[in-house]
Structure 1
Amino acid sequence: MIFTSNAFTHQLIEQTVKIGDIVIDGTTANGVNTRFLATRIGNSGKVLSYATTKDNANAAAASLFMSGLSDRVTLLGKTLDNQFLDELGPQNQVSVAIFDYSDDAQNSNDCPINYIEQVNHVLPRLTHSGLLIIKFTSTPVEWQQYNQNLLDADYSKASYLTKNIDTHIIERI
């Protein structure tokens, strides 16, 4: 059986995230990843979710409320930026971070110019064996270059390609 990119991503998250973990949804969009992460971390965990539009933030907030998951999520109505460390907490680390610029999240046209800068904020905060997952409907050339330049001594890398979506995984060693 060949998994869809969404099923593959969620299976990776299930295998990585433990109750009590801190996780990041860097691209809330339709909220599907935020909700899924919130179900995995339990009551003692925390999801930082970045919604770049008011409509996305409102839709995600309503969905989280209806699912009974609001208490597990800090929904930020902005992009992930230089304030990330303050929002995360200076001593905290992240087990999973996802940036979904694909049709799965209905976010394929919302990849910001500074998405690599956002990744650079998160990558050093991953736990050992923590995952950064980034999905594209069409992978930008600069991502391929960035991914190739990561040190193999620090990170393992893999990609899962389906007909419509490229899922890139970086694991901190």
Structure 2
Amino acid sequence: MIPTTQTFIHQLIEQAVHVGDIVVDATTANGINTRFLATRVGNTGRVISYTTTKDNANATAASLFMSGLSERVTLLSKTIDRQFIAELGLQNQARIVIFDYSSDSENSHDRPDDYLDQIDRVIPRLTHGGLLIIKFDDVPENWSVYSQSLLTADFQQANYKTNTTQTYLIERI
């Protein structure tokens, strides 16, 4: 059986995230990735979750509360911007950062024009061995140029494609 992209990503997260890690859901949308990450980081870890709509923030907050995971998540009603390093913590790095612009998270039409600027802010803050995961239903034209511009000495790349979604993995070496 071929796993869906959501199943594939969650299996990858299970292998990569350890109790106590800091992780980022850069595109919270329906909150599915935020909740899953919160189950993986344990009581000593932290999820930073960015959502651009009040409805998504409220729904995610309610879901986290009901599942007892609220204490593990910092939910921010904004996109990643120049305050990211302060929000992460000056000395902190992230194990995983997810940008999910796919139908899996009900976010396929919400990719902002500055998504590459947001990625540029987070990618240097990945731990060594940390992963940037980005999912698209429709891959933007500028993504290929961006991903090819990353130095192979600093990053390894892979992708996973299903009929509906393309998932790109960038690992900081």
TM-score, with length taken from structure 2: 0.99
**1:160 partner amino acid:** Y
Rounded to whole Å, the distance in 2 between the matches of 1:36 and 1:48 is 13
Question: How far has the Cα of 1:141 moved from its partner?
Answer: 1.0
| Cross-structure match for 1:19 | 19
> Alpha-carbon deviations, 1:96-153, whole Å to 9, x = none?
0000000000000000000001001110000010000000001111011100111100
Residue 59 (structure 2) pairs with residue 69 (structure 1): no
Cross-structure match for 1:97: 97
In the aligned structure 1, how far is the partner of 2:97 from the partner of 2:91?
A: 17
1:46 equivalent in alignment to 2:46: yes
State yes or no: 1:10 paired with 2:16. no
CA distance in 2, matches of 1:145, 1:58: 36
Q: Does 1:138 align with 2:138?
A: yes
Spell out the pairing of 1:22-171 with structure 2 (5 A cutoff). Answer: 22-171=22-171
Q: Residues of 1 paired with 2:159 and 2:80: CA distance?
A: 23
SS in structure 1 of the partner of residue 159 of structure 2 = strand
TM-score, normalised with respect to structure 1: 0.99
**C-alpha distance in 2, partners of 1:55/1:145?**
34
Gaps of 5+ in 2: none
* Aligned partner letter, 1:149: S
Displacement of 1:164: 0.1
What is the distance in 1 between the residues matched to 2:25 and 2:167?
Answer: 15
Q: Deviations over 1:65-122 (max 9, x none)?
A: 0010000000001111110001011100000000000000000000000000100111
d(CA) in 1 for partners of 2:12, 2:83: 28
What's the RMSD between the two structures over aligned residues? Answer: 0.4
Structure 1, gaps ≥5 residues long: none
Report sequence identity in percent: 64
Runs of 4+ aligned residues of structure 1 deviating over 3 Å after TM superposition are none
Partner SS for 2:110? coil
